[in-house]
Amino acid sequence: MARVLVAYGSTRGSTAEIAEWIGRALREEGHQVDVVAAGDAADVRAYDVVILGGAVYARRWHKDARRFARRHAATLRALSVWLFSSGPLDHSAVEREIPPTPNVTRWCARLEVLGHVTFGGRLASDAKGFPASTMARSMAGDFRNPAHVTAWAKAVARELG
């Protein structure tokens, strides 16, 4: 049984919910899991595995995920690390593998991660703020797929043994 931290950067709660789905799937496979907002995660040394995720806005990973990665980079390089992104406002994430954005690709290399996946995003039709409210006029919807998230998390769990 591995001790796993699932940390996430989320603005509107969609990525936080994905992180919870990942945590639940890993627990079902017998792992001890903490799911924590990246901005609230203080020390990663107590974990064997870290799964770090962030929403992608304008092709950049959420600032809290980037700050977490920067703050804990040395420790993360010594652990088993996977990354996930969320954001496409269509069904493309379940139709095909979406490579990480250039920003996330750099973190994959810096942290020597074991893998990355992109999940669909969610945008409420009544989203506040610019550009979210403008995008919501034509792109609102929930494009996350819990079965896709769970399958990925269970594949990670199998790699953990």
pTM of the model: 0.94
pLDDT, tens digit, for every residue of 42-89?
A: 899 999 999 999 999 888 999 999 999 999 999 999 999 999 999 999
**Of the options 3.40.50.360, 3.40.50.2300, 2.60.40.3140, 1.20.120.1750, the CATH number for the domain spanning 3-160:** 3.40.50.360
pLDDT exceeds cutoff 90 at 99: yes
pLDDT exceeds cutoff 80 at 30: yes
Q: Please tell me what DSSP assigns to residue 31.
A: -
pLDDT exceeds cutoff 70 at 136: no
Q: Contact, 13 vs 121, CB < 8 A? A: no
Integer Cα distance of 54 and 10 in angstroms = 6
pLDDT exceeds cutoff 70 at 93: yes
Give the mean pLDDT of the chain.
Answer: 94
Close Cβ partners of 104 (under 8 Å, ≥ 6 residues apart) = 54, 56, 61, 83, 85, 116
Chain-centre distance for alpha carbon 33:
15
Query: What are the boundaries of each domain within the chain?
Result: 3-160
**Of 81, 84, 85, the residue nearest 112 (C-alpha):** 81
Decide the pairing of beta strands 49-57 and 60-61. Answer: antiparallel
